Each structure stands twice: as structure tokens, then as C-alpha cells.
């Protein structure tokens, strides 16, 4: 964890408290005995490699910087629409305090999705990996800014042991040291998690510094297909888009319009 009391650090402090409380309510053993824990998990990396769009469409109700984006959004309606309208995978925010999500959102998304689901949260403990499995995720986000390199490797190994894939998120050159073969997907976040400001050129700037063998995903600030095309030329195969869709009355229709599908 970084030293400055940034928005990220406030989130992480809350997250540690939340995990401690959850552990007291339900054990890892009970989580791993759920029906969804026994399902065959889907490969998000493979889905992105084979997708014509590469879009990871995100479901989120609010953000720390912008407040509520789409407070009344129904997860099954939105995610089901994403699936029908060309998403390669879906990302579901499960943080409650800062993003208005929940693990129930993830489980409900699983019911209407036959494509990979990413649990997007601030993962700091093995227990959250067990939760991801129990509620239907196929992959989890590990944020370099929130973890030491050793913690990141340890959580990645544990996730793989549960059949989960990893999307490693980086934002700065200094975080390139986190990139290693065990990270299934490398995401370059255009949003600074200290200030929550967005700069789309972060992906363009860091693209050449990520090893060619890594499957690259651009995250945040993507609002036009022209940006996707330009990033594809730099080797990106995934594009995580949330607010651009969720700010619309019909997020799934916004995805459909974005990729240019005909009515």
C-alpha cells in the first residue's frame, strides 16, 4: 500500500475491514462448497483472443470520483444485453461502499451470461478469491498500485489454483515490474487511482513497454471506436469500457451502437 492517504488507500483500508467482517460470517470452506464453485470456469484470455470486438463491458452503478452513474441499473438486464450485443467478456464491480456493487450482482450476472465474468474489486486477501469462485467469476483483477510484487504473485498463484485467471492492472512505468508470465492478462488503466483523473494516452505511452507475449487490455476513458482501432494497432486485444455505456439509459444498446451492430 502506498504511503499517501489517497482515495485508493481509503478504499483499501475499508476493504481490509470488510474482508475481516466477511470472514466472520462465512468460512472459506463454505464458500468453496457452493454450486458455482464447482463449475468449469471460462477463459477470458481465450475469449479476448478470439473476439471480433475485444470489449469487456462493465456493470457499475457509481464511482468514487463521479458519484452515481446509473443507480437504478438492473444487473441482469444490462449484462444480458451486453452478452447479446457483442461483448467478449463482462466486468462486474463488487465493491459496495465506493462503487455501489455487490457479490450478489456477480451471481446474478452469472445467471444470464455464457461469456467470461471478471470480478472487479480491490483484491487484498485469498478469501476474496474464494468469494469470486463461489459467486461465479472466471477472472479477478489484481491492482499493482494496491499490492506489493510479492503479494501480487502470491495472489496470482492462489487464483490459478482455484481455476481463476488474472487481469493485472498497471498505470505507471514503475509497475511494469509486476508483469510476469503468470499474469494471464495485463491491463493498462488510464485512470490514476490516486487522483481518479483519466488520461487515455497512458495506454498509448506504456503499450510498447509491456512484453509482446502479454495480452494487453486498455482500461478507462475509451469513448470512441476510433480509439479502439488505434489501440489495436499497438497490440491491444481487450478494451474495458464501463462509464461510457453505463451513463446511457440503455447500456446494452450503447454497446451495440459503439461496435456498429445494425438493428
What residues are labeled active site? 58, 60, 120, 169, 189, 219-220
Q: What span, in angstroms and rounded, lies between the C-alpha atoms of 258 and 176?
A: 31
Q: Are 253 and 246 in contact (CB under 8 A)?
A: no
User: Rounded to whole angstroms, how far apart are CA atoms 139 and 45?
Assistant: 9
- In DSSP notation, 59-71 reads E-SEETTTEESST
- Picking from 46, 36, 33, 77, the residue whose alpha carbon sits closest to that of residue 59 is 77
E strands of 9-88, at which residues? 55-59, 62-63, 67-68
Say how many CA atoms lie within 13 Å of 199 toward its Cβ: 10
- Beta-sheet pairing, 185-189 with 215-219: parallel
What 8-state DSSP symbol labels residue 198? B
Amino acid at each position: 500500500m502506498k504511503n499517501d492517504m489517497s482515495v485508493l488507500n481509503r478504499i483499501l483500508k475499508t476493504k481490509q475491514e470488510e474482508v475481516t467482517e466477511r470472514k466472520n460470517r462465512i468460512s472459506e470452506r463454505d464458500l468453496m462448497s457452493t454450486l458455482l464453485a464447482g463449475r468449469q470456469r471460462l477463459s477470458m484470455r481465450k475469449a479476448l483472443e478470439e473476439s471480433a470486438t475485444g470489449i469487456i463491458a462493465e456493470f457499475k452503478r457509481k464511482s468514487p470520483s463521479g458519484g452515481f452513474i446509473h443507480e437504478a441499473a438492473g444487473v441482469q438486464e444490462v449484462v444480458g444485453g451486453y452478452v447479446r450485443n457483442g461483448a467478449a467478456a463482462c466486468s462486474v464491480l463488487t465493491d459496495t461502499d465506493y462503487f455501489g456493487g455487490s457479490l450478489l450482482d456477480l451471481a446474478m450476472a452469472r445467471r444470464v451470461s455464457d461469456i467470461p465474468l471478471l470480478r472487479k474489486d480491490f483484491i487484498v486477501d485469498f478469501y476474496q478469491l474464494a468469494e469470486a469462485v463461489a459467486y461465479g467469476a472466471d477472472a479477478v483483477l489484481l491492482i499493482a498500485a494496491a499490492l506489493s510484487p510479492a503479494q501480487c504473485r502470491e495472489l496470482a498463484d492462489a487464483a490459478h489454483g482455484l481455476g481463476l485467471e488474472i487481469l493485472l492492472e498497471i498505470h505507471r512505468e514503475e509497475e511494469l515490474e509486476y508483469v510476469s508470465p503468470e499474469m494471464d492478462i495485463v491491463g493498462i488503466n488510464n485512470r490514476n487511482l490516486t487522483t481518479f483523473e483519466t488520461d487515455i494516452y497512458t495506454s498509448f505511452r506504456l503499450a510498447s513497454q509491456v512484453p509482446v507475449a502479454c495480452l494487453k487490455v486498455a482500461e478507462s476513458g475509451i469513448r470512441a471506436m476510433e480509439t479502439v482501432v488505434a489501440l489495436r494497432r499497438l497490440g491491444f486485444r481487450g478494451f474495458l469500457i464501463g462509464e461510457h455505456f453505463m451513463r446511457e439509459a440503455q447500456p446494452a444498446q450503447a454497446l451495440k451502437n459503439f461496435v456498429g451492430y445494425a438493428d
